[in-house]
Amino acid sequence: RLFDIFELIENHLKKIKRNELLPAGVVFIGGSANIPLLEEFSKTALKLPSRIGTTEIFGNIKTKLRDPSWFTALGLIMSDDDNNFYPEGLFKNFFKNLKRIIKLNIKQLMP
């Protein structure tokens, strides 16, 4: 299955003339980032640097998330238009914001 996914990615990169031309490489986040040997497989298949995402990009935060599966929720909070996102205050209201976003999304699904 991974082979198929990386084949699709490689084909898309070729189509936009960027295969093997991403200096920053590939960053994996979300639950699938926990797949064993994902980085190594990606480096081989795509011939690009690969790594698992970390919370270092958020700068001065006291809590480090070690499980990249949380990054999807973190991304939802950051992308919320009504949420004035400031990295230093992220974890202060993390669960409050997460609860609000989940409620909003559930309301949108209701008839």
Question: Which one-letter amino acid corresponds to residue 37?
Answer: L
The confidence score (pLDDT) of residue 7 equals 92
Share of the chain above pLDDT 90, in %: 14
Total of domains in the chain: 2
Same domain, 48 and 75: no
Q: Is 89 helix (H, G, I), strand (E, B) or coil?
A: helix
The confidence score (pLDDT) of residue 69 equals 77
Predicted structure pTM score: 0.58
Indicate the pLDDT class of residue 101, thresholds 50, 70 and 90. confident
Same domain, 7 and 47: yes
Asked whether residue 89 is assigned to any structural domain, the reply reads: yes
Same domain, 83 and 47: no
Indicate the pLDDT class of residue 17, thresholds 50, 70 and 90. confident
75 half-sphere exposure, CB direction, 13 A CA radius:
10
The confidence score (pLDDT) of residue 79 equals 67
* Residue 30 · residue 68 · CB < 8 Å: yes
* Residue 98 · residue 73 · CB < 8 Å: yes
pLDDT digits (tens, 9 = 90+) for 27-67: 888 888 889 999 999 999 999 999 888 766 555 555 566 67
